Amino acid sequence: MSKVEMYVDNLPNIPWQDKPEGSVGPVWRYSDNPIINRNPVPGVARIFNSAVLPYKGEFIGVFRAEQIDGVPHLYLGYSKDGISWSFEKERIHFVNEAGEDFLPRYEYDPRLIKIDDSYYIIWCTDFYGASLGLAKTDDFKKFVRLENPFLPFNRNGVLFPRKINGRFVMLSRPSDSGHTPFGDIFLSESPDLKYWGRHRHVMARGYRQWWQSLKIGGGAAPIETSEGWLLFYHGVTGTCNGYVYSMGACILDKDEPAVVKYRPDSFILTPEMWYEERGFVGNVVFPCAALCDAATGRIAIYYGAADSYVALAFTTIDEIVDFIKKHDAANDDDKGSGIM
Ligand code: BMA
């Protein structure tokens, strides 16, 4: 029985491995990573930065599939165990609210979030440059594209899995349209997923913490716990050889999630393995989804590795919350405070 409760469903078939002896840090990798390798589908060179959810006793996911012309689109994938995946041969076909075809010029870094009985995909789309795209499905057959939430430029949109104080809530990272050398996490609310406002600054890149000194961005949909909302995110540092993307975790206030309760000064996973260090873009660990089991407190985190593979890592709610609290940068101004 966990000390910290997760307010999520039981997921007895969550992918899982126990923490290996001698493992460093609060998160450990699946021993057979990467779980998705190169050339997974004809015409697709790489799948990475992708999001999964439990569905009808098995698992379903929306995947960033980089085509052999280098352009990313979203593909649907299925798995019985959350580890071994099969994919549709064609990209997801969106329609607009009038039922007409809607096929974005590119689509990447999807998150998949269940709110009530519907599933929402939020991704980086083309809207005169990199912006957030949003779509809804109830059955993974018909995908209805909704209004783009924000003006350009923005990336890393992450919806909370339920309304808070009667409103949909989204994290995002205002950006430029290139390889953005800056960025903080903001929060916005909407009564209807169409009109967004009450924008808040959640947290800044951490100047004193060099691993996340350049930019940060939301990762997996926040997980509701008895301590607040647990957020896995990415933090980026700049080096003389380019950016390095690591994984971080923090806890946001339960009722006012623009307020950061605990934010550790250390990463929880950083590129170390060949599939994280080496690839189309080396040194990238990019979390986009987490599965949780309320009964055991187990968490399985899905992350993109080196813009080439999907990998899996594990933790438990007690282990990650202990780490976050123990390493909390309590007096750090960069922690963030829900500023308007
Ligand atoms: C960002 C996005 C991510 C990618 C990262 C590293 O700007 O494109 O999808 O993982 O760069 O290349």
- Render pLDDT for 124-135 as a digit per residue (tens, 0 to 9): 999 999 999 999
- Ligand 1 mean position, distance from CA 89 (Å): 24
Lay out the sheet containing 28-29: strands in order across: 28-29, 309-316, 298-305, 285-293
Q: pLDDT below 70 — which residues of the chain?
A: 330-340
Task: Compute the residue count for the chain.
Answer: 340
pLDDT reported for residue 337: 53
How many Å is the Cα radius of gyration of the chain?
18
pLDDT reported for residue 86: 98
The pTM for the full model equals 0.97
Other Cβ atoms less than 10 A from the Cβ of 210: the count is 14
Distance CA 144, CA 99 (A): 8
Q: Which helix (H) or strand (E) holds 318?
A: helix 317-326
- Ligand 1 mean position, distance from CA 75 (Å): 18
How many C-alpha atoms does 262 have within 13 Å on its Cβ side?
A: 20
Q: Which of 284, 303, 308, 310 has most ligand 1 atoms within 8 Å of its beta carbon, as the pocket-test mutant?
A: 284
pLDDT reported for residue 336: 54
Q: Which of 46, 48, 49 has most ligand 1 atoms within 8 Å of its beta carbon, as the pocket-test mutant?
A: 49
- Ligand 1 mean position, distance from CA 305 (Å): 10
Contacts by 119-126, CB closer than 8 A, 24 or more apart: 119/53, 120/159, 120/193, 121/51, 121/62, 121/74, 121/92, 122/149, 122/157, 122/158, 122/159, 122/170, 123/62, 123/64, 123/74, 123/157, 124/155, 124/156, 124/157
